[in-house]
Amino acid sequence: NIELDPEKYEDIFIINENMQPYKPNMSSIAWKAFVRPYLLHNNINFEYSETGAGFHSLSSNSIQNDVRKMILSDQINIMNFAMLNAGYNQNTDNLADQKSTTTTFERYFGQLVLQYNDLASLGLSYDTSANTGVNVETDDEEFNQKSVNMSVSADYFVKKMPVAPTRFNLTYTNSNSTDELDDNYEIKLNSINFTMLNKFLTIPLTTKLNYGMTKSENEVLAVTNENTSNFVSLRGEYGFFNGKLVPYADVKLVMLGGDQEQSFNYFNLGAKYNPWKNTRVATNLRLKNYSNSDVDNIDYSEINWNLYISQRF
């Protein structure tokens, strides 16, 4: 007789605890409900969905399981001059209580756009979000991350400019991310972006000038680092055969400041060709130069050539 106690070996054989039986229940299905009424110039949208922990999609492997999502938004259009969009969305996981932490993401957002025909516009946007994790057993917070973003943009189209009508755009963005629970980090970011787009009247030439400046201040574990970046780019495109063949050239200069002074220079030559419907051929030759003023012997240059062919059926 062999004495055998199965309890002594129960930790050796482990069956996946997340497996679900093949039977209809809330854990093995995904569902979504929505209401989208239009009332007094208000486009109202309300969505609610749940995806079970045991749900598996045959058409996509990127669907997040074990999550609940809710969206509420309202878009108001006032005489095609002003548009206000505001809303709230929330995502919560661990519906089946299989994890030790439940994560909840909440976001409030608002956007106002003032538009005068196609000549000028002014945009304001603001959103704040919080990502929190709560321990299931103790009900204590394990992390609490908050982010606030704000942007202002102005757009103006000089339609009657001789030779080439030009569209100008200026955008300012400010963001702040913090660790609300342990105060381990705070990240501040300010950026300005200017764009000038020219479309010539007599020839099929389009040029684009872009300049951007970003300043960041990162405080991690009481250590503060400040960094700056500036870039300027110029691009030109010329259309042949009613736009079927478009060769282009562009140059982009990037300067980085902070602990080290670095620079990246990009030079591109390429072309896009659409010989017939649903077919696209593109090629690009790029030269990249990198230099570092503070560290020796790490400067380099590289050349890349790409060919892209696409056919839709």
pLDDT digits (tens, 9 = 90+) for 182-236: 888 999 999 999 999 999 999 999 999 999 999 999 888 778 888 999 999 999 9
Q: Which of these ranges, 5-14, 168-177, 281-290, has the smallest mean pLDDT?
A: 5-14
Q: Which of 180, 177, 88 is nearest to 132 (CA)?
A: 180
Quote the pLDDT of residue 3. Answer: 72
Q: Which single residue is written with the structure tokens 């990127």?
A: 62
Q: Is the pLDDT of residue 22 over 70?
A: no
Round to whole Å and give the CA distance between 80 and 265. 43
List, in order, residues 6 or more apart from 191 with CB less than 8 Å away: 172, 173, 212, 213, 214, 215
Q: What is the pLDDT of residues 62-113, one digit of tens each?
A: 778 889 999 999 999 888 889 999 999 999 999 888 888 999 999 999 999 9
Reference 154, options 119, 109, 128; nearest CA is: 119
Mean pLDDT confidence for 154-163: 90
pLDDT over threshold 60, residue 17: no
Over pLDDT 70: what percentage of the chain? 95
Q: What are the structure tokens assigned to 239, written together?
A: 């259309």
pLDDT at 1 over 80: no
